[in-house]
Chains A and B, each alone.
Chain A
Amino acid sequence: MIQNLKRRLVRRLASLGPRYMPFADIATPDLPLRRLLRLSLFQVSVGMTLVLLVGTLNRVMIVELDVPATIVGVMIALPLLFAPFRALIGHKSDTHRCELGWRRVPFIWKGMLLQFGGFALMPFALLVLAGKGQSGDEPLWIGHSAAAIAFLMVGAGAHIIQTAGLALATDLTPAKSHPRVVGLMYVVLLLGMIASALIFGAALAEFSAGRLVQVLQTSALVCTALTGIAIWKQEPRRPPRGAVAPTADPSFRESWARFCSGGQAVRRLVIVGLGTMAFGMAEVLLEPFGGQVLQWTVSETTSLTAFLALGGLLGFAYASHAMGQGDEDAFRIAQQGALIGLPAFALVILSAPFGLSGAFLVGNFLIGFGAAIFGHGTLTATMSRAPKGQAGLAVGAWGAVQATAAGLAMALGGIIRDVVNASVGPNEVLGGLSREASGYVTVYGIEIVLLLITIVATIPLLRGLSRRPPAEGGAEGESLAFHPGDGMIDSAAGSR
């Protein structure tokens, strides 16, 4: 009797614990939408960080805090230094072993701490950087190094969270669901960025040092909360207890060599880089082009961003639908995205000499549409074709190439425009174009060439499709392949 009572009490106690622990209860063959939506919240935190770094703080530092534009440019570019390390983070999370049996969560946790810490330092670092308050007499290096550390921490945190988060999404879903998962992740990122931009704009409308501190510290808390909610009970545990001692993990060099040896991985990464550069160079030039060349007002040029975002959302929806049917290869979809970019940039170029505002708007929409399809296709292909046990490395390599190419493209776009404009005299006309237009049109022309190279580079991949065995996706349900006795305790904890 007492034994029975004791046993029931222990069972009751045991069922209470896991409910309040951050471990996944059950391993399912596919994620329910509600859990997937919750997982995608880490993308909102990444989107919020991107908007703050590239948009809001960029403007605040230059306009409100009077920081020289060169220093602002360097600070904003700093997080890009971490981008190439995404492949290493992915590899580390692939091979991570710990008592708790998690692979991705420890990295997301550390990324979250870095991001929070960076945001906690950032407002004070920016105020000292700008010499506000009584910090004007202090040596310059203090503000510079504090701001650089804050930007690096936030950027590194966001890169780690996104790499490990996308790898976790790859682990948790079978290959046939990857197109929809990628579509959802992209759409959530985009919506997070749009919402954050609007909220930051309203919050900082009346700028003060105190308001800057409030906004950044609230962002830190919100990002941490969103990431925490996103990963709560998501990753199943595979604790090593009782398991046969594993063989030594491959080094990064060995993993990289294995990754590069199969499925034309290097060609795929080159395509990601070229295509991202092709679409990315115009990103920061479209609004100034509308203002300087087409003489649009600020509110009119702002509508361009809306058209670009609308094109992006429709592009993600189209790509998810087309690949979700299972009859379209991800790289064929990516190639379609690049193909759509050709008329898009042609329309933008044509709008310059003839002043065609409508063509410019349509071109903008198509750029958003094509870029979304291209990004969606390449990430889906990366996730679905990741070699077994290398999902993190594959997604990390994609992210490293994509983020580095996007950063380089933005910098190169501005530099090429300025160099071309400077080389054309004030009253000269280059090919029937005004001095202001010639720099922009040169950049758009280069983008068309890059798109053509991207399209040509995808042809061998598509040719190989008919020869490729259909079940190449090694990552399919990889982490879900739990076998009896492999230490998977979470399915034991009962359903929620």
Chain B
Amino acid sequence: MAHETQTADIDDPDRIWPTGLTIRESEELHKHLIDGARVFFLISVVAHLLVYLFSPWGG
């Protein structure tokens, strides 16, 4: 049963393999990763600022 459905999925022209996601689904997943990277960039900037206040480098 699962095998039959899988065949139908492979034939789905919207899907891109090997992920099996559609373009829109891939874009959404990508957006989550990019948003996460942006948030982490901001956090790392603040963390570096705090580290500099605790122990300044380059001085």
Contacts and interface: CB of A to CB of B under 8 A. Distances in A.
A17 interface: yes
A121 B28 contact: no
A99 B25 contact: yes
Interface stretch (A130-138, A169-177, A305-313): A130-138
A13 B17 contact: yes
A146 B46 contact: yes
A128 B53 contact: yes
A444 to B, nearest CB: 43
Given A21-B20, A492-B5, A128 B10 contact: no
Interface string A1-44: 00000000011011111100100001000000000000000000
A492 B8 contact: yes
Given A17-B19, A135-B53, A493-B6, A98 B39 contact: no
Interface string B29-50: 1001000100110011011001
- Say whether chain B's binding surface is mostly helix, strand, loop, or mixed: helix
A10 B54 contact: no
Contact of A121 (B20, B27, B47): B47
Contacts of A127: 50, 54
Contacts of B21: 21, 100
A11 B10 contact: yes
Nearest to A142: B53
B6 A128 contact: no
A493 B20 contact: yes
B56 A134 contact: yes
A134 B10 CA distance: 61
A17 B17 contact: yes
Given A21-B20, A100-B28, A493-B20, A14 B9 contact: yes
B22 A241 contact: yes
B17 A124 contact: no
Given A14-B10, A106-B32, A492-B5, A121 B22 contact: no
A109 interface: yes
B22 A128 contact: no
A106 B31 CA distance: 11
Contacts of B53: 128, 133-135, 138, 142
B5 A99 contact: no
B18 interface: yes
A489 B12 CA distance: 11
B46 A121 contact: yes
Contacts of B18: 13-14, 16-17
Contacts of A209: 54
B9 A98 contact: no
Contacts, number: 98
B19 A133 contact: no
A14 B54 CA distance: 52
B9 A495 contact: no
Q: Which of A100, A109, A491 has the most CB of B within 10 A?
A: A100
Contact of A128 (B17, B29, B50): B50
Interface in A71-121: 98-100, 106, 109, 113, 117, 120-121
Contacts of A134: 53-56
A495 B2 contact: yes
A16 B20 CA distance: 10
Contacts of A18: 20
B20 A113 contact: no
A135 B51 CA distance: 9
Contacts of A109: 32, 36
Contacts of B10: 10-11, 14
* Most chain B CB neighbours (cut-off 10 Å) among A10, A142, A489: A489
Contacts of A138: 53
A403 interface: no
Nearest to B18: A17
Contact of A99 (B19, B28, B36, B39): B28
A17 B54 contact: no
A14 B47 contact: no
Contacts of B14: 241
A117 B43 contact: yes
A326 interface: no
A236 B25 CA distance: 15
12 contacts: A10-B17, A11-B10, A15-B6, A16-B18, A120-B43, A121-B46, A124-B51, A128-B54, A132-B54, A489-B9, A489-B20, A491-B5
Interface of B: 2-3, 5-10, 14, 17-22, 24-25, 27-29, 32, 36, 39-40, 43-44, 46-47, 50-51, 53-56
Q: Which 5 A-B pairs have the closest CB atoms?
A: A17-B18, A124-B50, A492-B5, A133-B54, A117-B43
Interface of A: 10-11, 13-18, 21, 26, 98-100, 106, 109, 113, 117, 120-121, 124-125, 127-128, 132-135, 138, 142, 146, 149, 209, 239, 241, 489, 491-495
Given A113-B36, A117-B39, A492-B9, 18 more contacts: A11-B7, A13-B17, A14-B18, A17-B19, A21-B21, A98-B28, A99-B27, A100-B25, A113-B39, A120-B47, A121-B47, A134-B54, A135-B54, A239-B22, A491-B2, A492-B6, A493-B2, A493-B9
